[in-house]
Structure 1
Amino acid sequence: MNSKQLQYFLATVENGSITAAARAIDVAQPAISLQLANLEHELKLKLFERDFRGVHLTDAGKKFEYHANIILTQINQAKADLVGNEHECSGKVVVGLSQSICNVLSVDLLTELEHRFANIEIDFRIGPSNVINNCFAENELDIILGYELDEQLENAADTLALIRENLYLYISQKPQNPAYYELTLYGSMPFVDLQHYETFAPNKEDALYKLLNKQAKQAGIKLKTKSAFGQLMTTLHYVMQGVGLIVAPSSSAFHLEKQNLVRAIDIVDPPIQRDVYLSMAEDKKHNAAVKVVYELIRELTANVHDNKDWRGELLDQKYAHPSRNNIEALVAS
């Protein structure tokens, strides 16, 4: 479910027919019909009765109209929280983040800025967590997405826990190494079993390396690791070719999963997760452009989490999407 579907639904209700709604909001009629059909399919509810005079709400549709109005109002209010507008908000914003977070957020962030805040320029500084943290400490960054809530983040402006991301063992759909063949049968594996497989690992100062080795120490095992290639996509290329494994969040490989090039194996007993924090520099908390980018990151994180591209627990609920199950419960109430 998305805001476009809700908009088309309410426009159809207001205008009494899909044809009239298409004219009112200047959208092609087939596009509205398709979105409404998708909405009814997702909800598994019939929202409209259709006849030669137009459309009429079913009982479920009448209940859903009430909640759709509330949801759209909340979405619009959330967007209104973004400071300024495209005509009066401008400037350059420097954002520090890891390669995996950049992979899942950068395109959407650049697209939204182009459409909504064209006068804001964004500069991504991408690197290992320890390097990004040092850049933030040296006041070289306006915003940081980091993994360790250390003293500098705690003292930064508006620090919040954004998402608790899940970590997975990624394997090629067609492994070439015989040692990986048995992994093709696994949907999940206990953390201690990682000790039997060599995996690519970041440098020893990186937050992910520290997390995995801390967990290994607690479990009484030693992990077999080999150095990654610096660039995430180079390392993932080796994984895709079936000659390597990597422990990583879904943000790093969601696009490869969709192309059926790699597969994620759940790590359990215990599951491995880490919190991602969003912070802005203290001296930038009154900068309108920085605040806009900060809020857009929160909004887009909720979007990619809802799309299952960045999997885990969404900790920042400001822009969280109502789930289909929640909507079904509301309509049934």
Structure 2
Amino acid sequence: MNSKQLQYFLVTVQKGSIAAAARELDIAQPAISQQLANLEREMGSALFERSFKGVSLTAAGEVFEKHAKKLIEDINAAKMELHQLAANQHGVVRVGMLPSIGNVLSMSLIAMVNEFHPQLKLEISTGPSYAVKEWLKTNQVDIALTYEQEVEPRFMSAYPLIEEFMYLVVGVNEASAYYQLLQNRDTICFWELSQFELLTPGPKDALGRLIEKYEHDTGVALKHDKAYSGQLMTGLRQVIQGEGLMILPSSAMYHLEESKVIKSLKITQPDMKRQVLAATNSNFAMTDAIVKMLSIIQEASSTEQACGHWRGNLLNKVPKSDARPMGFASPSTVSAL
């Protein structure tokens, strides 16, 4: 038994004859007669009484009609749900991220979507952490890739991706006193950072607040006197020219490190690190396309971490279609950072 036989059966009942059903369905009468005969053989009962006037239901046919209508309703409902699912999965997903995160993830995300998920359309916007948070709050983006310092539980559902290590970044410049001092080192203690002039963002930015937190927890005051535009690329140009040093994750500068124009030293004692999260607005329902994009973001994060572009510990707690958001960190964990 199949849906075509059910359709032929119900239209024949409605029209009262096989000839009328054939005209309604625009199908040859013998084709309908054959399908109805096959249906009767499968059911083991005659469903119609046939006469020169047309057809009428037998007692078995009346019983079968009730089930046939229910089956067709279920099939149509299933089709509608599947069409809705397909529409959701073919949707546009807007992702907002910081420039440092975009530097390591944007190309991977675009490549994965284009190659493996052509039914999705990815739109990427980049901006400072406070702007990305505002975009998510006002529904201008569907997913925000940001830092734990920007999480607001009152409207965000957060999914941890990676705990990234922080580095002191120095330009590879033989004329720079900074480079001459640091060129043979791979790590640096946090307290040693107080010796250098740093290019740092203000407290409005998540990185600025992270640096302030470490200064407070360690009692080490850093030098923030160097003029800094707040733009990542501009700051890295200043570093390359020997005008100061920056505190950054590998995601922000790995490409320059591979080109040997900058060098990075892992910050230790204490290890300086922070969590990167994917966040959605809990006031809006997540479509299947958004859930799929979160999974792609997790995959891209794992790929970039595995090849050393994004150095840190993977957390990978993005949701499945039926999963609830997971906490980004306990208060005790955050306060220790």
TM-score normalised to the size of structure 2?
A: 0.64
Match of 2:102 in 1: 102
Deviation (angstroms), 1:161: 1.4
**Identical residues among aligned pairs (%):** 29
Amino acid across the alignment from 1:203: G
* Gap change, CA 1:93 and 1:173, over 3 Å in 2: same
Amino acid across the alignment from 1:186: R
Match of 2:134 in 1: 134
SS in 1 for 2:304: helix
Amino acid across the alignment from 1:162: L
Q: Tell me, yes or no, if the aligned pair for 2:149 and 2:209 is still in contact at 8 Å.
A: no
Amino acid across the alignment from 1:110: I
Match of 1:263 in 2: 263
Match of 2:201 in 1: 202
Deviation (angstroms), 1:184: 1.7
SS in 2 for 1:200: coil
* Gap change, CA 1:138 and 1:259, over 3 Å in 2: same
How do 1:276-315 residues align onto structure 2 when only pairs under 5 Å count? 276-282=276-282, 285-315=285-315
How do 1:120-269 residues align onto structure 2 when only pairs under 5 Å count? 120-148=120-148, 152-153=152-153, 155-157=155-157, 159-225=158-224, 226-269=226-269
Match of 2:43 in 1: none
Deviation (angstroms), 1:292: 1.8
Deviation (angstroms), 1:128: 1.5
Q: Tell me, yes or no, if the aligned pair for 1:190 and 1:268 is still in contact at 8 Å.
A: yes
Task: Report the count of equivalent residues.
Answer: 235
What is the CA–CA distance in structure 2 between the aligned matches of 1:201 and 1:150, rounded to whole Å?
17
Q: Tell me, yes or no, if the aligned pair for 1:173 and 1:262 is still in contact at 8 Å.
A: yes
TM-score normalised to the size of structure 1?
A: 0.65
Deviation (angstroms), 1:235: 1.5
SS in 2 for 1:221: coil
Deviation (angstroms), 1:309: 0.4
Amino acid across the alignment from 1:194: L
- Over residues 130-167 of structure 1, what are the superposed CA-to-partner deviations in whole Å (9 max), with x where a residue is unaligned? 2211222222220011212666346534x221100000
Q: Tell me, yes or no, if the aligned pair for 1:176 and 1:243 is still in contact at 8 Å.
A: no
| Structure label with greater radius of gyration | 2
Deviation (angstroms), 1:98: 0.7
SS in 2 for 1:199: coil
How do 1:35-46 residues align onto structure 2 when only pairs under 5 Å count? none
- Over residues 170-207 of structure 1, what are the superposed CA-to-partner deviations in whole Å (9 max), with x where a residue is unaligned? 11222533254212232211101111101111232111
What is the CA–CA distance in structure 1 between the aligned matches of 2:230 and 2:206, rounded to whole Å?
15
Consecutive unaligned residues of structure 1, counting only runs of 5 or more, are 1-82, 319-333
What is the CA–CA distance in structure 1 between the aligned matches of 2:190 and 2:90, rounded to whole Å?
47
SS in 1 for 2:199: strand
What is the CA–CA distance in structure 2 between the aligned matches of 1:179 and 1:156, rounded to whole Å?
41
Amino acid across the alignment from 2:136: F
Consecutive unaligned residues of structure 2, counting only runs of 5 or more, are 1-83, 319-337
How do 1:62-141 residues align onto structure 2 when only pairs under 5 Å count? 89-141=89-141
* Gap change, CA 1:163 and 1:269, over 3 Å in 2: same
Q: Tell me, yes or no, if the aligned pair for 1:170 and 1:246 is still in contact at 8 Å.
A: yes
Amino acid across the alignment from 2:203: K
What is the CA–CA distance in structure 2 between the aligned matches of 1:227 and 1:90, rounded to whole Å?
46
* Gap change, CA 1:230 and 1:212, over 3 Å in 2: closer
* Gap change, CA 1:151 and 1:259, over 3 Å in 2: closer
What is the CA–CA distance in structure 2 between the aligned matches of 1:171 and 1:84, rounded to whole Å?
50
- Measured on the aligned residues, the alpha-carbon RMSD in Å equals 2.5
